[in-house]
Amino acid sequence: MDGKERRRKTDVQMLDGNQAGAIGAKLSRVQVIAAYPITPQTPVTEKLSEFVEKGELNAEYIAVEGEHSALAVCASASMVGARTFTASSAHGLAYMHEMLHWTAGARLPVVLACVNRAIGAPWNVLNDQQDSISQRDTGWIQIYARNNQEILDSIIQAYKIAEMVYVPVMVCYDGYVLSHTEMPVDVPSQGSVDKFLPPYKPHTILDPSSPRNYNLVTLANPRANTQGILCHGYMELRFLLQEALQNSRETIVSVGQEFGEMFGRGYDNTYWDFRLDDADIVIVAMGSLAMEAMVASKQLREKGHKVGVLGLRVFRPFPKSDLVRALRKSRVVVVFDKDISYGSEGAVCSEIKAALYGIDTTAMIRNYIVGLGGRDVKARDLVDAVEKAVMLLGQGALNVEYPEWICQI
Amino acid sequence: MGTRECRHICDESSPGIGEAGRTGEWRNAFPVINQEKCVVTKRNKLTCFLCWLYCPDAVVRKEIPVSIDLEYCKGCGICAQVCPAQAITMVNEGESCLEGTGGI
């Protein structure tokens, strides 16, 4: 192999998460970008507008007055056949809420980078995952990245997944922890991404010679169209969206496998497994927290605990059967959530409890709320929490009603 | 037979008459034209047609005599309001047409 080829094979750059996200979108040859700047997502929009302005990316960058419009532009452009990208955080994502539902309901394969940030009041620009978790019921696929390489890789995969199942994909990554932290990222060549990602084929065809109506008032019951064919009512369309998400797990995994074969970094599961094989204690965490949990698990192993880490990558569709297989033999499952469903518990914990219902397991499940509004989560905190859970198990305490918080109250 | 045969994944249709269903079923009252008063019918000329112009559902036929497609008329009563000859009367559904109105 000559030097030129070797350079082409690996192009490792020091990139922060936002640069990785922007490059992921550029390599996916997005055609329409509409986004409104918000901390900590702003550099994504800046980088992309720079690519467009320099002529490095052949795309329309549409300036809008807010996030609701940003997604409305992307949904409309996607409908007429353009590959579209947007990005947001916290209050911006909340402002998009209506259009998030609309985009999924219209089955438009928009990809959105959510740079996870806390939501006010009070004002806070730092990281937690309350923003994207609050949008979990909008019908979007949600993928969480642990590091900057995964941000870039996941955005490229997200287009392939979204355009196969016609469901929009949100790629979520932790604000500052990833968005503003540089790491080495292997940037694939444009040629290899082009081979991986075929052009977008819309299911919505807007053609003046054969006009169509899309997403008009659709009443409760199905009815025959002008050709006499019985068409979906509102509820049938909602069923199809649910069915698409239920079935999308297979697509997510097969696209991840194919990505691995092409680029040498496999994404052939819905979660990251770190020493789960012999573990009877499992730490569950999502996003960059899963990396911290790996450090904690090493420390716990040194203390004689058989600890593994399950880093959840796909939150929607929630990979129930994958997690049942991974967790059913555990003695203790400790779930760390960077979000809280007020009055209940962390969203990841709820999902895991629901997945394990009716399964022959005696696992104790403990939930800790951590890292809200950028509160630093140290590996030591995770170690203490896991040891406390193990101690409580020794005392016969099983599941508790509400989560514990790692804070100083 | 379910709805899968339409093969749509979001709401989709082609524009056409009756596309939104038999919307005339929504009606509480229907318009009745008194052809003896209607300017178009009386003069036998394509004139006036304010009812046709103002109808928000395009169910008034631009013909002599003027008629209304009750399959899709929702009974809003705008035609009766705009008729300069007061030739249109709104009759509640279930009530019989007034005698001498000349039908519809």
- pLDDT tens digits for range A136-152: 999 999 999 999 999 99
Q: Is residue B53 situated within a structural domain? A: yes
Q: Determine how many CB atoms are found less than 10 A away from the CB of residue A356.
A: 19
Phi, psi (deg, nearest 5) at residue A119 = -110, 140
Q: Does A276 touch chain B (CB under 8 A)?
A: no
pLDDT at A5 > cutoff 60: no
Q: Please give the pLDDT value at position A8.
A: 54
Interval A19-73: pLDDT, tens: 999 999 999 999 999 999 999 999 999 999 999 999 999 999 999 999 999 999 9
Closest chain A CA to residue B10: A106
Provide the b/e sequence for A263-277 (b: ≥16 CB within 10 Å).
beeebebbbbebebe
Q: What is the pLDDT of residue A36?
A: 98
Q: Do you know the residue count of chain B? A: 104
B13 close to A (CB below 8 A): yes
Residue A332 DSSP code = E
Residue B101 predicted with pLDDT over 60: no
Q: What's the mean pLDDT in A114-133?
A: 98
Q: How many CA atoms lie within 13 A of A216 on its CB side?
A: 13
Cα(A238)–Cα(A245) distance, rounded to whole angstroms? Answer: 11
Residue A64: CB partners within 8 Å, gap ≥ 6?
A34, A35, A36, A70, A73
What is the average pLDDT score of chain B?
Answer: 89
Range A186-213 average pLDDT: 94
Name the amino acid, one letter, at A389.
A
Q: What is the pLDDT of residue A327?
A: 96
CATH classification of the domain holding B59: 3.30.70.20
pLDDT at B97: 57
Structure confidence by residue, pLDDT tens digits, B39-63: 999 999 999 999 999 999 999 999 9
Give chain B's domain count: 1
Cis status, amide bond into A211, omega within 30 of 0: no
| Range in A171-175, A193-197, A199-203, A222-226 the model is least confident about | A222-226
Where are the domain boundaries for CATH 3.40.50.920 in chain A? Answer: 271-405
Q: Is the pLDDT confidence value at A268 over 80?
A: yes
Q: Is B26 on the interface with A (CB under 8 A)?
A: no
Q: Is residue B9 part of a domain?
A: no
Domain, as residue range, for B23: 18-92
Q: How far apart are CA A94 and CA A116, in angstroms?
A: 12
Name the residue with tokens 């209607």.
B38
Burial (CB count within 10 angstroms: exposed 0-12, middle 13-18, buried 19+), residue A85: buried
Residue A336's nearest CA partner among A359, A320, A352 is A352
Topology given in CATH for the domain delimited by A271-405: Rossmann fold (3.40.50)
Residue A273, pLDDT > 80, answer yes
* Model confidence band, residue B96 (pLDDT cutoffs 50, 70, 90): low
Flag whether pLDDT at A16 surpasses 70.
yes
Nearest to A61 by CA among A39, A80, A91, A87: A87
Model confidence band, residue A1 (pLDDT cutoffs 50, 70, 90): very low
Summarize pLDDT for B26-44 with one digit per residue, the tens: 899 999 999 999 999 999 9
pLDDT at A153: 98
Q: Which residues of B touch A222 (CB under 8 A)?
A: 3
Query: What fold characterizes domain A3-196?
Result: Rossmann fold (3.40.50)
Check residue A394 and give its pLDDT: 82
d(CA A345, CA A301): 28
Query: Which part of chain A has CATH 3.40.50.970?
Result: 3-196
B63 belongs to a structural domain: yes
Helix pair angle (A347-356, A320-327), 10° resolution: 80
Neighboring chain A residues of B12 at a CB cutoff of 8 Å: 204, 212-214, 231
Cα distance between residue A239 and residue B3, in whole Å: 11
Count of pairs with CB atoms under 8 A, one residue in A, one in B = 71
Whether pLDDT at B7 is above 70: yes
Please indicate whether, in this complex, the C-beta atoms of B9 and A210 are within 8 angstroms of each other. no
Model confidence over A339-380: pLDDT tens digits? 999 999 999 999 999 999 999 888 999 999 999 999 999 999
Residue B69: CA count within 13 A, CB half-sphere: 16
Structural domain includes residue B10? no
Residue B52 lies in a domain: yes
Shortest CA gap B87–chain A (Å): 33
- As a whole number of angstroms, the distance between CA B32 and CA A366 comes to 72
